[in-house]
Structure 1
């Protein structure tokens, strides 16, 4: 049966179902539509489905003309999960957040699989792309898919292929980022490679779903640990009166053995702040403590508090307390030049300021209105940056260094700048490095 499915995937007669139409799912449905596949998108959010069917994406870097082109090519979004039976391939792109105890919240993966399983049939491939701990595909997805009598590896094919989207990165896109694929069996891997070979320039097969799952965790733990290291170095360098950015730039001139990572106000995004804790949680099952990973997580989670402490130092120099001060946060997306708010440290900074009695507002050209979030709530809209507006605030915190900001105007018209990104590293006076 796998040979018949491989043939359909190779000749593009297969219908592709994308389950979860967010930052990962939307680039995928656009890519598969571009190269000639019939594509159906599934999501539980009726508003999102309606907007996509009208040719509009709420995600800033997903252009409406791309969505309209996909619609013209036959793409349709739906909340009707029974239509999964129409599809030859189902690619799951659903959230995998942490709960309040920093343990994996698999409810979206489990719930989505449970919605699909009455409609899953023989001759399909199911691919999970959500970042998760090693064993998820085999231990959570496989048993659910087999409840109706199908056998994975014979009737139905199961793979894990971690998403590697980087919103706002102009150098890489869905097509050009190599795709790691692991299958439950050799037959599953063969089908998985066929699923992605036309859509992605380079497919990288690995021996199992667990190897693919751990690959994604290693990629992001590598970043989290190194960012934790440089954030700790930032604190040490500041106490010693040394510019950490100067040190990093000097170290980066070494042509081997060093990769530059830069400090910031904390970790943000859908992967790096979360993924390390998937592995630390799973490692406990094997009697292991991942102390190195957990320590870097502690350092990175402490950064918003560090930024607020530097703000309080700056206000004290102006004979002001934080309580009652007017503070403007510049940039609330988790990284520059995108509208993605997931796990943004800016939001935690804003909550800390609010809890300490400050009047908090924000300015972000990519986020005109503070969005609805699972755990955070601000009824705010972005403040327009002007000379008169900036002068009204006791301090501004540069949290996300968008290119659209006029940094000279900000410097000229602000009373106090807390710089978490090194944009004002060569300016003195009103700038406090954080």
Structure 2
């Protein structure tokens, strides 16, 4: 069967989108560059956890979903949807090279009547400034010969209550006709479509969604660090605040941001804002707070080892539970667990991980859950299949009767994240206040000394403590002593000259010379 819809990109966005359209009776072809992914899809095997093979295979067998590496497959389709990644460079600048190459391949096959929709998250203006010129190179005119729109993907991997089908679809086209055409396409597959006036409005709406989450997560992450110093349970604070039925949305602290959206998307806007002479300091500050959380978590693990096992990070065996960026998925993109494991290894720790959803990570295999073999167990995610089963009626803490392995562990545990529907291990053996405050030394009572002597001794001690140390400081002190001696000799010479002048002696004769001594002796 000839496809009605071509989706460029068979990943976390493209495959669920293909399933939704196939459920609505449309014929979809997925275009991707990875041959192993294409072969698996054509066998009815899904590599995306949100779409199981049981859901995919009936559509493949019926011919409603197929996959190909050839861009010629888009020629017969009525609509072309672009669902490709838009990463950031090392300088935090948008890298649209993947989108640009796809647009170039589409442009050479563009025909009259085509609808092209960009779903990839990007900065405001991408559709009009980057995609449109590439498609216009075909000689066709937008709004007359073909239609172009932007509709941001809103996939949240692992969610079962909100999926591609029931999450409202925002659509904004280059022209009103483009908007209507794109809205009509999506209305045939999803529950609700929201039309906006332009692609820029739709692009910025997606960024606002993720910036909102990034900023609020940064706020609660900073609050968690403050609560740790103040000896207050941050979970209790957040849960208590969440009881307010209006004006508050609950966010949980964690080891940092992960995934393909929230850690990256805010910086699309900061980059674009500089083009207009505007600096989004609030957004950038939130990014700094969230990026610092793996370092803070390393500090928590170090404190737990110091106070619970009297050990340092170097040489300690640490087990990290969960390495994906969220619960119950195998997606490790931008996961803070990767940075945390790197920091622990750099500190000399022997790090292993356990995650049934990620059997292999960078050549390393997931180990069995045997906490007793490790000095510290760091709960990165609460996993409902590996660490702690979910239970309604409140959070669970590992180490209870339902998890004897952790209860028998000889090491200490550190909770780094609050999983959805479940809780993680409480930080064990970490004194709340002594982690950050040095105990004051009790002053010794010195009997038989006057207050003046004690003050003089204290002044001398402060002077020694304030004295700079090191080779350069020693050289500076030597130079200062030589300067004082030189200056002192000059002062003594001037005083002697004045004394001789006052006594009527010749100023040419210096003290200490025989002539001078003889001149002063009485005849």
The two structures have a TM-score, normalised by structure 1, of 0.92
User: Which residue of 415, 419, 426 maps to 1:419?
Assistant: 415
Q: Give the corresponding residue for 1:116.
A: 106
Structure (1 or 2) with the larger CA radius of gyration: 2
How far apart, CA to CA, are the structure 2 residues paired with 1:258 and 1:84?
46
Q: Give the corresponding residue for 2:73.
A: 83
How far apart, CA to CA, are the structure 1 residues paired with 2:426 and 2:92?
39
Is it true that 1:366 corresponds to 2:357 in the alignment?
yes
Contact conserved, 2:372 with 2:406, CA < 8 A, in 1?
no
Report the alpha carbon displacement of residue 211 of structure 1 after superposing the two structures with TM: 0.2
Q: RCO higher in 1 or 2 (8 Å CA, sep ≥ 6)?
A: 1
Q: How does 1:214-293 map to 2 (within 5 A)?
A: 214-293=204-283
Deviating more after overlay: 402-411 vs 324-333? 402-411
Is it true that 1:32 corresponds to 2:21 in the alignment?
yes
Report the alpha carbon displacement of residue 92 of structure 1 after superposing the two structures with TM: 0.6
Contact conserved, 1:83 with 1:119, CA < 8 A, in 2?
no
How far apart, CA to CA, are the structure 2 residues paired with 1:73 and 1:153?
34
How far apart, CA to CA, are the structure 2 residues paired with 1:258 and 1:384?
40
Contact conserved, 1:416 with 1:431, CA < 8 A, in 2?
no
How far apart, CA to CA, are the structure 1 residues paired with 2:341 and 2:335?
10
User: Which residue of 318, 321, 345 maps to 2:312?
Assistant: 321
What's the secondary structure of 1:119's corresponding residue? coil
How far apart, CA to CA, are the structure 2 residues paired with 1:142 and 1:70?
33
The two structures have a TM-score, normalised by structure 2, of 0.76
User: Which residue of 45, 54, 66 maps to 1:56?
Assistant: 45
Is it true that 1:161 corresponds to 2:151 in the alignment?
yes
Could you list the per-position Cα deviations for residues 248-302 of structure 1 after superposition, in whole angstroms to 9, with x for gaps in the alignment?
1111111111111010000011111111000001000000000111111000000
Report the alpha carbon displacement of residue 88 of structure 1 after superposing the two structures with TM: 0.8
Contact conserved, 2:372 with 2:405, CA < 8 A, in 1?
no
Is it true that 1:190 corresponds to 2:180 in the alignment?
yes
Is it true that 1:202 corresponds to 2:198 in the alignment?
no
Q: State the aligned residue count.
A: 412
Q: How does 1:347-386 map to 2 (within 5 A)?
A: 347-370=338-361, 378-385=362-369
Q: Give the corresponding residue for 1:18.
A: 7
Contact conserved, 2:165 with 2:190, CA < 8 A, in 1?
yes
Q: Give the corresponding residue for 2:404.
A: 409
Contact conserved, 1:329 with 1:362, CA < 8 A, in 2?
yes
How far apart, CA to CA, are the structure 1 residues paired with 2:189 and 2:230?
51
Q: Give the corresponding residue for 2:505.
A: none
Could you list the per-position Cα deviations for residues 167-217 of structure 1 after superposition, in whole angstroms to 9, with x for gaps in the alignment?
111111111000000000011001111110111100000000000000000
How far apart, CA to CA, are the structure 1 residues paired with 2:364 and 2:430?
26
Report the alpha carbon displacement of residue 432 of structure 1 after superposing the two structures with TM: 8.5
Q: Give the corresponding residue for 1:9.
A: none
Contact conserved, 1:323 with 1:356, CA < 8 A, in 2?
yes
Instruction: Report the RMSD for the aligned CA atoms in angstroms.
Output: 1.8
Report the alpha carbon displacement of residue 242 of structure 1 after superposing the two structures with TM: 0.3
- Please, which runs of 5 or more residues in structure 2 have no aligned partner? 389-397, 436-523
Call closer, same or farther: CA 1:121–1:380 in 2, change over 3 Å: same
- Please, which runs of 5 or more residues in structure 1 have no aligned partner? 1-12, 371-377
Could you list the per-position Cα deviations for residues 290-338 of structure 1 after superposition, in whole angstroms to 9, with x for gaps in the alignment?
0111111000000000000111112222221212211111101100111
Is it true that 1:392 corresponds to 2:373 in the alignment?
yes
Deviating more after overlay: 138-147 vs 351-360? 351-360
How far apart, CA to CA, are the structure 2 residues paired with 1:413 and 1:86?
62
Call closer, same or farther: CA 1:68–1:262 in 2, change over 3 Å: same
Could you list the per-position Cα deviations for residues 46-90 of structure 1 after superposition, in whole angstroms to 9, with x for gaps in the alignment?
110000001111222321011112212312100011221111101
Is it true that 1:332 corresponds to 2:327 in the alignment?
no
How far apart, CA to CA, are the structure 2 residues paired with 1:137 and 1:335?
30
Q: Give the corresponding residue for 2:162.
A: 172
How far apart, CA to CA, are the structure 2 residues paired with 1:296 and 1:42?
36
What's the secondary structure of 1:339's corresponding residue? coil
Contact conserved, 1:43 with 1:49, CA < 8 A, in 2?
yes
Report the alpha carbon displacement of residue 394 of structure 1 after superposing the two structures with TM: 1.1
